Amino acid sequence: MTNPTTTPGSDTGESLQERAEQTLQAHAARSEHQLHELESDMVGLLGDSGTIQEDRDGSRRLIESVRADLERTRRALARIEAGTFGQCTKCREPIADARLEAIPEADYCTNCA
Ligand SMILES: [Zn+2]
């Protein structure tokens, strides 16, 4: 982990994309951790013959939603790598800064969402 330092002579601070990248990386790390924990729990549930089906279904749905969230976050990080971050993946128009500030992993602009 590198220690982020502010660039001398720059009083505007980090760019939206730099902040988004940090947010997304932290988000991905959290999701990966959560997914790992949920999958461990799932193994525990499967091993327990007294577990009711609804518990397992609930865990599976939660795992799927965390996994989808992680995928979305990874796609946004890939767009930063590719230099297309902030571009709507549907209409190719730029996504509003305010939207990216709120949802850095957004795939679509407000029109397409
Ligand atoms: Zn769009």
The pLDDT value recorded for residue 9 is 45
Alpha carbon of 70 to ligand 1 centroid (Å):
21
Q: What angle do CA 30, 60, 71 make, to 5 degrees?
A: 45
CB-based neighbours (< 5 A) of ligand 1, an ion:
88, 90-91, 109, 112
The pLDDT value recorded for residue 7 is 46
Tens of each residue's pLDDT in the chain, 113 residues: 555 554 444 456 789 999 999 999 999 999 999 999 999 888 777 666 666 777 888 889 999 999 999 999 999 999 999 999 999 999 999 999 999 999 999 999 999 99
Alpha carbon of 40 to ligand 1 centroid (Å):
38
The pLDDT value recorded for residue 50 is 66
> Rounded to an integer, what distance in angstroms lies between the CA atom of residue 37 and that of residue 80?
28
Side chain identity at residue 42, one-letter code: M
Alpha carbon of 10 to ligand 1 centroid (Å):
32
Alpha carbon of 19 to ligand 1 centroid (Å):
22
